[in-house]
Protein backbone atom coordinates (compact mmCIF):
# COMPACT_ATOMS: atom_id res chain seq x y z
CA UNK A 1 0.00 0.00 0.00
CA UNK A 2 1.38 3.41 -0.99
CA UNK A 3 1.43 5.98 1.79
CA UNK A 4 -0.06 8.92 -0.11
CA UNK A 5 0.30 11.25 2.90
CA UNK A 6 4.05 11.50 2.32
CA UNK A 7 3.33 13.13 -1.06
CA UNK A 8 0.69 15.44 0.34
CA UNK A 9 -1.90 13.67 -1.80
CA UNK A 10 -4.95 11.76 -0.68
CA UNK A 11 -5.81 8.29 -1.89
CA UNK A 12 -8.96 8.42 -4.04
CA UNK A 13 -12.10 7.27 -2.28
CA UNK A 14 -15.78 6.89 -3.06
CA UNK A 15 -18.23 7.87 -0.35
CA UNK A 16 -21.38 6.16 0.82
CA UNK A 17 -23.97 8.02 2.91
CA UNK A 18 -25.80 7.29 6.14
CA UNK A 19 -28.97 9.05 7.28
CA UNK A 20 -28.45 9.81 10.99
CA UNK A 21 -32.21 10.04 11.58
CA UNK A 22 -33.03 6.44 10.68
CA UNK A 23 -29.63 4.82 9.97
CA UNK A 24 -30.30 3.86 6.35
CA UNK A 25 -27.18 3.71 4.15
CA UNK A 26 -26.97 4.76 0.49
CA UNK A 27 -24.72 4.72 -2.53
CA UNK A 28 -24.83 6.96 -4.42
CA UNK A 29 -26.15 9.81 -2.28
CA UNK A 30 -29.87 10.60 -2.34
CA UNK A 31 -31.21 14.10 -1.66
CA UNK A 32 -34.01 12.71 0.51
CA UNK A 33 -33.89 9.58 2.67
CA UNK A 34 -36.08 6.91 1.05
CA UNK A 35 -37.07 5.54 4.46
CA UNK A 36 -37.69 8.57 6.71
CA UNK A 37 -37.71 11.44 4.14
CA UNK A 38 -34.93 13.36 5.98
CA UNK A 39 -33.39 15.94 3.62
CA UNK A 40 -29.68 15.91 2.81
CA UNK A 41 -28.06 19.30 2.35
CA UNK A 42 -25.10 18.69 0.01
CA UNK A 43 -23.32 21.82 1.32
CA UNK A 44 -23.52 21.35 5.10
CA UNK A 45 -24.11 17.58 5.16
CA UNK A 46 -26.00 18.13 8.42
CA UNK A 47 -27.88 15.07 9.65
CA UNK A 48 -25.90 12.72 7.43
CA UNK A 49 -22.50 11.10 7.71
CA UNK A 50 -20.27 9.72 4.99
CA UNK A 51 -17.96 6.74 4.95
CA UNK A 52 -15.58 5.17 2.41
CA UNK A 53 -17.23 2.43 0.38
CA UNK A 54 -14.46 -0.15 0.01
CA UNK A 55 -13.25 -3.58 0.94
CA UNK A 56 -14.83 -7.00 0.69
CA UNK A 57 -17.68 -7.56 -1.76
CA UNK A 58 -19.29 -10.26 -3.88
CA UNK A 59 -19.60 -10.19 -7.69
CA UNK A 60 -23.27 -10.29 -8.77
CA UNK A 61 -22.81 -10.09 -12.55
CA UNK A 62 -20.22 -8.97 -15.09
CA UNK A 63 -19.47 -8.29 -18.75
CA UNK A 64 -16.52 -7.70 -21.04
CA UNK A 65 -17.16 -4.66 -23.23
CA UNK A 66 -15.45 -4.48 -26.64
CA UNK A 67 -16.98 -1.24 -27.99
CA UNK A 68 -15.75 1.27 -25.45
CA UNK A 69 -16.81 4.89 -25.75
CA UNK A 70 -14.59 7.76 -26.82
CA UNK A 71 -11.74 8.43 -24.39
CA UNK A 72 -10.78 4.81 -23.70
CA UNK A 73 -7.70 3.31 -25.32
CA UNK A 74 -8.00 -0.29 -24.08
CA UNK A 75 -9.08 -3.08 -26.42
CA UNK A 76 -11.74 -4.06 -23.91
CA UNK A 77 -12.73 -3.50 -20.30
CA UNK A 78 -14.46 -5.71 -17.76
CA UNK A 79 -17.33 -4.28 -15.71
CA UNK A 80 -19.29 -5.73 -12.83
CA UNK A 81 -21.90 -5.10 -10.17
CA UNK A 82 -20.93 -6.06 -6.61
CA UNK A 83 -22.62 -6.24 -3.23
CA UNK A 84 -20.78 -5.13 -0.07
CA UNK A 85 -21.13 -6.73 3.36
CA UNK A 86 -23.34 -3.82 4.52
CA UNK A 87 -25.78 -4.62 1.71
CA UNK A 88 -24.87 -1.66 -0.52
CA UNK A 89 -24.24 -2.37 -4.18
CA UNK A 90 -22.02 -0.62 -6.71
CA UNK A 91 -21.10 -0.80 -10.39
CA UNK A 92 -17.53 -0.43 -11.58
CA UNK A 93 -14.58 -1.83 -13.46
CA UNK A 94 -13.31 -5.33 -12.90
CA UNK A 95 -9.68 -6.48 -12.91
CA UNK A 96 -10.04 -10.23 -12.62
CA UNK A 97 -8.52 -12.92 -14.87
CA UNK A 98 -11.51 -15.24 -14.86
CA UNK A 99 -14.60 -13.55 -13.43
CA UNK A 100 -17.31 -15.76 -11.96
CA UNK A 101 -20.64 -14.67 -10.53
CA UNK A 102 -20.55 -15.08 -6.74
CA UNK A 103 -16.77 -14.74 -6.37
CA UNK A 104 -15.37 -12.66 -3.49
CA UNK A 105 -13.62 -9.45 -4.50
CA UNK A 106 -11.97 -6.42 -2.98
CA UNK A 107 -13.23 -2.95 -3.96
CA UNK A 108 -10.49 -0.41 -4.67
CA UNK A 109 -10.72 3.10 -6.09
CA UNK A 110 -8.57 4.75 -8.78
CA UNK A 111 -8.57 8.18 -10.36
CA UNK A 112 -9.54 8.18 -14.04
CA UNK A 113 -9.29 10.89 -16.70
CA UNK A 114 -10.83 8.85 -19.50
CA UNK A 115 -14.24 10.53 -19.41
CA UNK A 116 -14.66 14.16 -20.55
CA UNK A 117 -14.14 16.83 -17.89
CA UNK A 118 -12.25 16.66 -14.61
CA UNK A 119 -10.72 13.36 -13.39
CA UNK A 120 -13.18 11.17 -11.49
CA UNK A 121 -12.90 8.37 -8.96
CA UNK A 122 -13.70 4.92 -10.28
CA UNK A 123 -14.29 1.58 -8.57
CA UNK A 124 -11.95 -1.22 -9.56
CA UNK A 125 -12.96 -4.59 -8.16
CA UNK A 126 -10.03 -6.99 -7.77
CA UNK A 127 -9.39 -10.51 -6.45
CA UNK B 1 -67.01 11.21 -20.05
CA UNK B 2 -63.38 10.87 -21.06
CA UNK B 3 -62.36 12.11 -24.50
CA UNK B 4 -61.40 9.36 -26.96
CA UNK B 5 -58.06 9.96 -28.68
CA UNK B 6 -57.03 8.40 -31.97
CA UNK B 7 -54.19 8.39 -34.50
CA UNK B 8 -55.40 9.67 -37.84
CA UNK B 9 -52.16 10.12 -39.74
CA UNK B 10 -48.75 8.43 -39.79
CA UNK B 11 -45.39 9.29 -41.31
CA UNK B 12 -41.93 7.73 -41.26
CA UNK B 13 -38.55 8.23 -42.92
CA UNK B 14 -36.45 5.25 -43.89
CA UNK B 15 -34.17 4.74 -40.90
CA UNK B 16 -30.44 4.53 -41.61
CA UNK B 17 -27.82 7.15 -42.30
CA UNK B 18 -29.29 10.64 -42.76
CA UNK B 19 -26.27 12.39 -41.30
CA UNK B 20 -25.91 14.71 -44.31
CA UNK B 21 -29.35 16.16 -43.58
CA UNK B 22 -30.56 18.63 -40.97
CA UNK B 23 -32.52 17.10 -38.06
CA UNK B 24 -35.44 19.51 -38.52
CA UNK B 25 -35.67 18.58 -42.21
CA UNK B 26 -35.70 14.87 -41.39
CA UNK B 27 -38.44 15.38 -38.80
CA UNK B 28 -40.38 17.63 -41.20
CA UNK B 29 -40.27 14.88 -43.85
CA UNK B 30 -41.96 12.39 -41.50
CA UNK B 31 -44.40 15.05 -40.27
CA UNK B 32 -45.39 15.97 -43.83
CA UNK B 33 -45.97 12.26 -44.56
CA UNK B 34 -48.29 12.07 -41.54
CA UNK B 35 -50.23 15.16 -42.59
CA UNK B 36 -50.59 13.90 -46.16
CA UNK B 37 -51.73 10.52 -44.85
CA UNK B 38 -54.42 12.30 -42.83
CA UNK B 39 -55.35 14.61 -45.71
CA UNK B 40 -54.54 17.59 -43.50
CA UNK B 41 -51.37 19.08 -45.02
CA UNK B 42 -53.04 22.21 -46.42
CA UNK B 43 -54.81 22.78 -43.08
CA UNK B 44 -51.70 22.22 -40.95
CA UNK B 45 -51.94 25.66 -39.30
CA UNK B 46 -55.21 24.50 -37.70
CA UNK B 47 -53.25 21.99 -35.61
CA UNK B 48 -53.55 22.95 -31.94
CA UNK B 49 -50.15 21.71 -30.75
CA UNK B 50 -46.89 20.22 -32.00
CA UNK B 51 -44.91 18.01 -29.64
CA UNK B 52 -41.43 16.80 -30.55
CA UNK B 53 -39.66 13.81 -29.01
CA UNK B 54 -35.87 14.05 -29.16
CA UNK B 55 -33.17 12.81 -26.82
CA UNK B 56 -29.93 14.60 -27.51
CA UNK B 57 -29.88 16.91 -30.54
CA UNK B 58 -27.67 19.24 -28.51
CA UNK B 59 -24.94 16.61 -28.30
CA UNK B 60 -25.46 14.68 -31.55
CA UNK B 61 -26.04 17.70 -33.84
CA UNK B 62 -25.06 20.75 -31.77
CA UNK B 63 -28.63 21.89 -32.30
CA UNK B 64 -31.27 22.96 -29.77
CA UNK B 65 -34.88 24.20 -29.84
CA UNK B 66 -35.74 21.66 -32.53
CA UNK B 67 -39.52 21.95 -31.98
CA UNK B 68 -39.40 25.63 -32.99
CA UNK B 69 -37.15 24.75 -35.90
CA UNK B 70 -39.54 22.03 -37.12
CA UNK B 71 -42.61 24.29 -37.05
CA UNK B 72 -40.83 26.99 -39.01
CA UNK B 73 -39.45 24.46 -41.51
CA UNK B 74 -43.03 23.35 -42.21
CA UNK B 75 -44.38 26.91 -42.39
CA UNK B 76 -46.78 26.20 -39.53
CA UNK B 77 -46.33 29.28 -37.38
CA UNK B 78 -47.99 30.26 -35.02
CA UNK B 79 -48.86 26.69 -33.92
CA UNK B 80 -47.49 26.09 -30.38
CA UNK B 81 -44.57 23.65 -30.26
CA UNK B 82 -42.62 22.09 -27.42
CA UNK B 83 -39.96 19.41 -26.92
CA UNK B 84 -40.29 16.29 -24.74
CA UNK B 85 -37.13 14.46 -23.64
CA UNK B 86 -37.11 11.05 -21.98
CA UNK B 87 -33.94 9.40 -23.28
CA UNK B 88 -34.69 6.60 -25.77
CA UNK B 89 -38.36 6.74 -24.70
CA UNK B 90 -38.71 10.39 -25.78
CA UNK B 91 -40.94 9.40 -28.71
CA UNK B 92 -43.51 7.47 -26.67
CA UNK B 93 -43.40 10.13 -23.97
CA UNK B 94 -44.20 12.75 -26.63
CA UNK B 95 -47.22 10.65 -27.66
CA UNK B 96 -48.28 10.34 -24.03
CA UNK B 97 -48.08 14.12 -23.54
CA UNK B 98 -49.95 14.62 -26.83
CA UNK B 99 -52.61 12.21 -25.64
CA UNK B 100 -52.91 14.16 -22.39
CA UNK B 101 -53.30 17.43 -24.32
CA UNK B 102 -56.23 16.01 -26.32
CA UNK B 103 -57.76 14.08 -23.42
CA UNK B 104 -57.68 17.19 -21.23
CA UNK B 105 -59.69 19.12 -23.79
CA UNK B 106 -56.91 21.65 -24.38
CA UNK B 107 -56.36 20.48 -27.95
CA UNK B 108 -58.31 18.63 -30.65
CA UNK B 109 -55.48 17.95 -33.11
CA UNK B 110 -51.88 17.34 -32.03
CA UNK B 111 -48.91 16.54 -34.25
CA UNK B 112 -46.30 14.35 -32.52
CA UNK B 113 -42.90 13.97 -34.18
CA UNK B 114 -39.97 11.91 -32.90
CA UNK B 115 -36.56 12.23 -34.47
CA UNK B 116 -32.83 11.80 -33.96
CA UNK B 117 -29.69 12.17 -36.07
CA UNK B 118 -27.02 10.06 -34.34
CA UNK B 119 -24.56 9.43 -37.14
CA UNK B 120 -23.10 12.91 -37.46
CA UNK B 121 -20.73 11.76 -34.70
CA UNK B 122 -18.46 8.68 -34.57
CA UNK B 123 -19.74 5.37 -33.17
CA UNK B 124 -17.51 5.82 -30.11
CA UNK B 125 -18.91 9.29 -29.54
CA UNK B 126 -22.51 8.08 -30.04
CA UNK B 127 -21.92 5.34 -27.44
CA UNK B 128 -20.64 8.01 -25.05
CA UNK B 129 -23.57 10.39 -25.70
CA UNK B 130 -26.13 7.63 -25.12
CA UNK B 131 -24.28 6.67 -21.91
CA UNK B 132 -24.86 10.16 -20.49
CA UNK B 133 -28.37 9.02 -19.52
CA UNK B 134 -26.77 6.80 -16.85
CA UNK B 135 -26.11 7.99 -13.28
CA UNK B 136 -23.19 10.38 -13.71
CA UNK B 137 -21.23 9.58 -10.57
CA UNK B 138 -22.04 5.91 -10.03
CA UNK B 139 -22.32 4.59 -13.60
CA UNK B 140 -21.19 6.94 -16.40
CA UNK B 141 -17.95 7.95 -14.65
CA UNK B 142 -17.07 4.25 -14.18
CA UNK B 143 -16.96 3.82 -17.97
CA UNK B 144 -20.24 1.95 -18.11
CA UNK B 145 -22.43 2.12 -21.20
CA UNK B 146 -25.89 0.84 -22.16
CA UNK B 147 -24.45 -2.28 -23.85
CA UNK B 148 -22.51 -2.98 -20.62
CA UNK B 149 -25.75 -3.08 -18.65
CA UNK B 150 -27.34 -5.16 -21.40
CA UNK B 151 -24.48 -7.66 -21.10
CA UNK B 152 -24.67 -7.86 -17.30
CA UNK B 153 -28.46 -8.29 -17.43
CA UNK B 154 -28.11 -11.05 -20.04
CA UNK B 155 -25.58 -12.97 -17.93
CA UNK B 156 -27.94 -12.94 -14.94
CA UNK B 157 -30.83 -14.11 -17.11
CA UNK B 158 -28.73 -16.89 -18.68
CA UNK B 159 -27.54 -18.16 -15.31
CA UNK B 160 -31.06 -18.15 -13.84
CA UNK B 161 -33.14 -19.46 -16.74
CA UNK B 162 -30.79 -21.32 -19.11
CA UNK B 163 -31.01 -18.89 -22.02
CA UNK B 164 -28.26 -19.48 -24.61
CA UNK B 165 -26.50 -17.20 -27.09
CA UNK B 166 -28.26 -19.19 -29.82
CA UNK B 167 -31.61 -18.16 -28.36
CA UNK B 168 -30.60 -14.51 -28.67
CA UNK B 169 -29.56 -15.18 -32.28
CA UNK B 170 -33.01 -16.67 -32.99
CA UNK B 171 -34.61 -13.36 -31.91
CA UNK B 172 -32.30 -11.50 -34.31
CA UNK B 173 -33.10 -13.88 -37.18
CA UNK B 174 -36.84 -13.36 -36.60
CA UNK B 175 -36.54 -9.58 -36.41
CA UNK B 176 -34.31 -9.29 -39.47
CA UNK B 177 -36.79 -11.46 -41.38
CA UNK B 178 -39.51 -8.91 -40.57
CA UNK B 179 -37.29 -5.87 -41.08
CA UNK B 180 -36.21 -7.12 -44.52
CA UNK B 181 -39.82 -6.58 -45.64
CA UNK B 182 -40.29 -3.19 -43.96
CA UNK B 183 -39.71 -0.26 -46.34
CA UNK B 184 -38.74 1.95 -43.38
CA UNK B 185 -36.16 -0.39 -41.81
CA UNK B 186 -32.48 0.54 -41.52
CA UNK B 187 -31.23 -2.99 -42.24
CA UNK B 188 -33.49 -4.52 -44.89
CA UNK B 189 -31.59 -7.79 -45.01
CA UNK B 190 -32.44 -11.16 -43.50
CA UNK B 191 -29.81 -13.16 -41.63
CA UNK B 192 -29.59 -16.90 -41.03
CA UNK B 193 -28.97 -18.81 -37.83
CA UNK B 194 -26.03 -20.52 -39.60
CA UNK B 195 -24.40 -17.15 -40.34
CA UNK B 196 -24.70 -15.69 -36.86
CA UNK B 197 -24.72 -18.71 -34.55
CA UNK B 198 -24.25 -22.23 -35.94
CA UNK B 199 -21.79 -21.82 -38.82
CA UNK B 200 -17.97 -21.99 -38.66
CA UNK B 201 -17.56 -18.24 -39.21
CA UNK B 202 -20.36 -17.19 -36.84
CA UNK B 203 -18.05 -15.92 -34.11
CA UNK B 204 -16.38 -13.61 -36.64
CA UNK B 205 -19.58 -12.44 -38.33
CA UNK B 206 -21.31 -12.01 -34.99
CA UNK B 207 -18.55 -10.76 -32.71
CA UNK B 208 -18.92 -9.89 -29.05
CA UNK B 209 -20.00 -6.35 -28.11
CA UNK B 210 -20.65 -6.70 -24.37
CA UNK B 211 -20.37 -10.37 -23.43
CA UNK B 212 -22.54 -12.39 -23.72
CA UNK B 213 -24.21 -9.93 -26.13
CA UNK B 214 -22.95 -10.04 -29.69
CA UNK B 215 -23.36 -7.67 -32.63
CA UNK B 216 -26.58 -9.38 -33.70
CA UNK B 217 -27.88 -9.03 -30.13
CA UNK B 218 -27.56 -5.24 -30.44
CA UNK B 219 -29.42 -2.60 -32.45
CA UNK B 220 -27.62 -0.41 -34.99
CA UNK B 221 -26.99 3.32 -34.53
CA UNK B 222 -29.58 4.97 -36.80
CA UNK B 223 -30.93 8.29 -37.98
CA UNK B 224 -34.56 8.94 -38.75
CA UNK B 225 -37.93 10.33 -37.75
CA UNK B 226 -41.54 9.26 -37.38
CA UNK B 227 -44.76 11.20 -36.85
CA UNK B 228 -48.36 10.62 -35.79
CA UNK B 229 -51.31 12.98 -35.92
CA UNK B 230 -53.54 12.68 -32.85
CA UNK B 231 -57.20 13.70 -32.93
CA UNK B 232 -60.09 14.03 -30.54
CA UNK B 233 -62.35 11.29 -31.90
CA UNK B 234 -65.38 12.86 -30.22
CA UNK B 235 -64.87 16.19 -32.02
CA UNK B 236 -66.73 17.02 -35.26
CA UNK B 237 -63.27 17.63 -36.76
CA UNK B 238 -62.74 13.89 -36.96
CA UNK B 239 -64.75 13.90 -40.22
CA UNK B 240 -62.19 16.24 -41.80
CA UNK B 241 -59.54 13.55 -42.10
CA UNK B 242 -59.03 11.13 -44.93
CA UNK B 243 -58.78 8.00 -42.78
CA UNK B 244 -60.62 6.55 -39.81
CA UNK B 245 -58.59 7.01 -36.62
CA UNK B 246 -56.97 4.10 -34.82
CA UNK B 247 -57.96 4.49 -31.19
CA UNK B 248 -55.37 4.89 -28.43
CA UNK B 249 -56.86 2.51 -25.88
CA UNK B 250 -54.16 2.91 -23.23
CA UNK B 251 -50.96 4.85 -22.66
CA UNK B 252 -49.00 4.92 -19.43
CA UNK B 253 -45.49 5.20 -18.06
CA UNK B 254 -43.55 4.39 -14.91
CA UNK B 255 -40.08 4.92 -13.49
CA UNK B 256 -37.51 2.78 -11.67
CA UNK B 257 -34.21 3.46 -9.85
CA UNK B 258 -31.73 5.47 -11.90
CA UNK B 259 -28.87 3.22 -10.73
CA UNK B 260 -29.41 -0.31 -12.03
CA UNK B 261 -27.45 -1.77 -9.09
CA UNK B 262 -30.00 -0.34 -6.64
CA UNK B 263 -32.86 -2.54 -7.90
CA UNK B 264 -33.84 -5.17 -5.34
CA UNK B 265 -33.95 -7.83 -8.04
CA UNK B 266 -31.67 -6.82 -10.90
CA UNK B 267 -33.60 -9.11 -13.26
CA UNK B 268 -36.92 -7.35 -12.68
CA UNK B 269 -37.96 -4.46 -14.93
CA UNK B 270 -40.54 -2.91 -12.60
CA UNK B 271 -41.14 0.19 -14.72
CA UNK B 272 -42.05 -2.03 -17.69
CA UNK B 273 -44.47 -4.08 -15.61
CA UNK B 274 -46.11 -1.04 -13.98
CA UNK B 275 -46.45 0.91 -17.25
CA UNK B 276 -48.02 -2.13 -18.92
CA UNK B 277 -50.39 -2.77 -16.01
CA UNK B 278 -51.58 0.83 -16.12
CA UNK B 279 -52.02 0.74 -19.90
CA UNK B 280 -53.96 -2.56 -19.70
CA UNK B 281 -56.23 -1.11 -17.01
CA UNK B 282 -56.86 2.03 -19.04
CA UNK B 283 -57.64 -0.04 -22.14
CA UNK B 284 -59.75 -2.57 -20.24
CA UNK B 285 -57.78 -5.44 -21.73
CA UNK B 286 -55.07 -7.89 -20.64
CA UNK B 287 -52.03 -9.56 -22.21
CA UNK B 288 -54.19 -12.27 -23.79
CA UNK B 289 -56.08 -9.64 -25.82
CA UNK B 290 -52.96 -8.30 -27.54
CA UNK B 291 -52.68 -9.39 -31.19
CA UNK B 292 -49.07 -8.28 -31.77
CA UNK B 293 -46.43 -6.14 -30.04
CA UNK B 294 -43.51 -3.82 -30.71
CA UNK B 295 -41.05 -4.28 -27.82
CA UNK B 296 -37.90 -2.21 -27.30
CA UNK B 297 -35.21 -4.70 -28.43
CA UNK B 298 -32.23 -2.34 -28.25
CA UNK B 299 -30.64 -5.61 -27.11
CA UNK B 300 -32.43 -8.84 -28.07
CA UNK B 301 -32.50 -9.86 -24.39
CA UNK B 302 -34.84 -6.91 -23.81
CA UNK B 303 -37.45 -8.24 -26.24
CA UNK B 304 -37.49 -11.43 -24.15
CA UNK B 305 -37.46 -9.75 -20.73
CA UNK B 306 -40.08 -7.14 -21.68
CA UNK B 307 -42.37 -9.80 -23.16
CA UNK B 308 -42.32 -11.50 -19.75
CA UNK B 309 -42.81 -8.31 -17.73
CA UNK B 310 -45.90 -7.31 -19.75
CA UNK B 311 -47.42 -10.74 -19.10
CA UNK B 312 -47.12 -12.42 -22.51
CA UNK B 313 -45.05 -15.29 -21.07
CA UNK B 314 -44.13 -16.68 -17.66
CA UNK B 315 -40.77 -15.53 -16.30
CA UNK B 316 -37.87 -17.37 -17.89
CA UNK B 317 -39.95 -18.93 -20.69
CA UNK B 318 -40.10 -16.32 -23.47
CA UNK B 319 -37.09 -17.77 -25.28
CA UNK B 320 -38.81 -21.17 -25.35
CA UNK B 321 -41.71 -19.47 -27.20
CA UNK B 322 -39.20 -17.99 -29.66
CA UNK B 323 -37.74 -21.47 -30.25
CA UNK B 324 -41.26 -22.69 -31.10
CA UNK B 325 -41.88 -19.79 -33.48
CA UNK B 326 -44.70 -18.34 -31.37
CA UNK B 327 -43.47 -14.76 -31.90
CA UNK B 328 -43.11 -15.02 -35.69
CA UNK B 329 -45.53 -13.10 -37.95
CA UNK B 330 -47.73 -16.18 -38.28
CA UNK B 331 -47.18 -17.27 -34.68
CA UNK B 332 -49.50 -17.06 -31.69
CA UNK B 333 -48.22 -13.59 -30.70
CA UNK B 334 -46.07 -11.82 -33.31
CA UNK B 335 -43.43 -9.59 -31.72
CA UNK B 336 -41.50 -6.84 -33.47
CA UNK B 337 -43.33 -7.17 -36.74
CA UNK B 338 -41.49 -4.05 -38.00
CA UNK B 339 -38.11 -5.70 -37.49
CA UNK B 340 -37.81 -4.09 -34.09
CA UNK B 341 -34.95 -1.85 -33.08
CA UNK B 342 -32.62 -4.69 -34.10
CA UNK B 343 -33.42 -4.49 -37.79
CA UNK B 344 -35.55 -1.38 -38.27
CA UNK B 345 -33.02 0.70 -36.30
CA UNK B 346 -33.08 2.89 -33.22
CA UNK B 347 -32.81 6.66 -33.72
CA UNK B 348 -33.38 7.15 -30.01
CA UNK B 349 -35.85 10.06 -30.04
CA UNK B 350 -37.83 8.56 -32.94
CA UNK B 351 -38.27 5.00 -31.73
CA UNK B 352 -41.42 5.39 -29.61
CA UNK B 353 -43.25 7.20 -32.41
CA UNK B 354 -41.96 4.66 -34.94
CA UNK B 355 -43.43 1.86 -32.79
CA UNK B 356 -46.81 3.66 -32.82
CA UNK B 357 -46.61 4.02 -36.61
CA UNK B 358 -46.13 0.24 -36.85
CA UNK B 359 -49.15 -0.37 -34.59
CA UNK B 360 -51.28 1.78 -36.90
CA UNK B 361 -49.92 0.19 -40.09
CA UNK B 362 -50.72 -3.28 -38.77
CA UNK B 363 -54.16 -2.33 -37.42
CA UNK B 364 -55.07 -0.64 -40.73
CA UNK B 365 -53.83 -3.69 -42.64
CA UNK B 366 -51.22 -1.58 -44.44
CA UNK B 367 -48.06 -3.53 -43.59
CA UNK B 368 -46.10 -5.05 -46.48
CA UNK B 369 -46.96 -8.49 -47.79
CA UNK B 370 -45.34 -11.20 -45.73
CA UNK B 371 -45.29 -9.24 -42.49
CA UNK B 372 -48.95 -8.26 -42.08
CA UNK B 373 -50.50 -9.80 -38.97
CA UNK B 374 -53.83 -11.52 -39.66
CA UNK B 375 -56.86 -9.59 -38.35
CA UNK B 376 -55.18 -7.76 -35.47
CA UNK B 377 -57.43 -6.12 -32.88
CA UNK B 378 -55.04 -4.70 -30.27
CA UNK B 379 -51.39 -3.75 -30.77
CA UNK B 380 -49.04 -2.91 -27.92
CA UNK B 381 -45.69 -1.13 -27.81
CA UNK B 382 -43.15 -0.68 -25.04
CA UNK B 383 -40.57 2.11 -25.32
CA UNK B 384 -37.72 1.70 -22.82
CA UNK B 385 -35.93 4.77 -21.46
CA UNK B 386 -32.53 4.52 -19.77
CA UNK B 387 -31.84 0.93 -18.78
CA UNK B 388 -35.51 0.49 -17.90
CA UNK B 389 -35.77 3.47 -15.54
CA UNK B 390 -38.45 5.37 -17.49
CA UNK B 391 -40.75 3.26 -19.63
CA UNK B 392 -43.86 4.01 -21.71
CA UNK B 393 -46.46 1.42 -22.77
CA UNK B 394 -49.01 2.12 -25.51
CA UNK B 395 -52.02 0.07 -26.61
CA UNK B 396 -53.83 0.88 -29.85
CA UNK B 397 -57.13 -0.67 -30.94
CA UNK B 398 -59.01 -1.24 -34.17
CA UNK B 399 -62.69 -0.69 -33.43
What tens digit of pLDDT does each residue of B348-367 get?
999 999 999 999 999 999 99
In a domain, A45, yes or no: yes
| Nearest residue of B to residue A88, measured between CA atoms | B262
Number of folded domains that form chain A: 2
CB contact under 8 A, A65 and B131: no
A23 with A77, same domain? no
**pLDDT of B395:** 98
A73 with A36, same domain? no
Domain span including residue A61: 55-126
| Nearest residue of A to residue B140, measured between CA atoms | A115
How close A1 gets to chain B, by Cα (Å)? Answer: 23
Q: List residues of chain A with CB under 8 Å from any CB of chain B.
A: 27-28, 60-72, 77, 79-81, 89-93, 101, 112, 114-116, 120-123
CA distance B253 to B274: 7
A48 with A59, same domain? no
A47 with A90, same domain? no
A42 with A72, same domain? no
Tell me which residues of chain B, numbers 174 to 203, contact chain A at a CB-CB cutoff of 8 Å.
none
| Nearest residue of A to residue B127, measured between CA atoms | A69
- CA-based angle B269:B318:B363, to the nearest 5? 85
pLDDT tens digits, A69-111: 988 999 999 999 999 999 999 999 999 999 999 999 999 999 9
CB contact under 8 A, A101 and B145: no
A48 with A65, same domain? no
Contacts of B127 in chain A (CB under 8 A): 67-70
In a domain, A33, yes or no: yes
In a domain, A3, yes or no: no
A117 with A100, same domain? yes
CB contact under 8 A, B141 and A112: yes
Q: Does B260 touch chain A (CB under 8 A)?
A: yes
Radius of gyration of chain B (CA): 19
**pLDDT of A10:** 77
pLDDT tens digits, A10-60: 789 999 999 999 999 999 999 999 999 999 999 999 999 999 999 999 999
In a domain, A34, yes or no: yes
Q: pLDDT tier at A8 (50, 70, 90 boundaries)? A: low
CB contact under 8 A, A91 and B140: no
Q: Is the pTM of this model over 0.95?
A: yes
A63 with A118, same domain? yes
CB contact under 8 A, B123 and A122: no
DSSP-based three-state secondary structure for B60:
helix
| Residue contacts between A and B (CB atoms, under 8 Å) | 108
CB contact under 8 A, A101 and B208: no
CB contact under 8 A, B210 and A28: no
DSSP-based three-state secondary structure for B132:
coil
pLDDT tens digits, B200-234: 999 999 999 999 999 999 999 999 999 999 999 99
In a domain, A4, yes or no: no
In a domain, A111, yes or no: yes
Domains of chain B as residue ranges with CATH: 5-122+222-240 (3.40.47.10)
**pLDDT of B325:** 98
| ipTM given for this complex | 0.94
A68 with A89, same domain? yes
A106 with A68, same domain? yes
- CA-based angle B144:B147:B151, to the nearest 5? 100
Q: Pick from B59, B125, B148, B159 the residue to mutate for testing the A interface (most A CBs within 10 Å).
A: B148
How close A93 gets to chain B, by Cα (Å)? Answer: 7
In a domain, A5, yes or no: no
List, in order, residues 6 or more apart from A11 with CB less than 8 Å away.
Answer: A2, A4, A109
Cis peptide before A28 (omega within 30 of 0): yes
A41 with A63, same domain? no
Contacts of A121 in chain B (CB under 8 A): 141
- Count CB neighbours of B190 within 10 A: 17
In a domain, A14, yes or no: yes
Q: pLDDT tier at A117 (50, 70, 90 boundaries)? A: confident
The number of angstroms, rounded, from the C-alpha of B142 to the middle of its chain's C-alpha atoms is 28
Q: Which residues of chain B have pLDDT under 70?
A: 1
* Residue in B328, B331, B336, B259 with CA at minimum distance from that of residue B299: B336
Contacts of A67 in chain B (CB under 8 A): 123-124, 127, 145, 147, 209-210
Amino acid sequence: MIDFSMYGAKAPTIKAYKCLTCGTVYYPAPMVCGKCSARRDPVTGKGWETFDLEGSCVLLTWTRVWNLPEGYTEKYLLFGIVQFENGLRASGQLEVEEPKTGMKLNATVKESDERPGNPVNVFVFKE
Amino acid sequence: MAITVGIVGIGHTRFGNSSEYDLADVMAYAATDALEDAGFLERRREIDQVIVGNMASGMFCHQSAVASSLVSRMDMEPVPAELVENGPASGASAIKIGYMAVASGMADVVLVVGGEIMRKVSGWNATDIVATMLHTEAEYNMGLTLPAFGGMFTRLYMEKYGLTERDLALVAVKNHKNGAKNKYAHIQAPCTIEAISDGPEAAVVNNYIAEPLRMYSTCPVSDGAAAVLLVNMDSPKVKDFRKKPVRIAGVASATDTHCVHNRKDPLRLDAVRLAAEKAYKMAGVGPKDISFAELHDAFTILELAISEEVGFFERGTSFLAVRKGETEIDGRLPINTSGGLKSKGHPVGATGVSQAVELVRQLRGEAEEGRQVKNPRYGMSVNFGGFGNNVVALICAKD
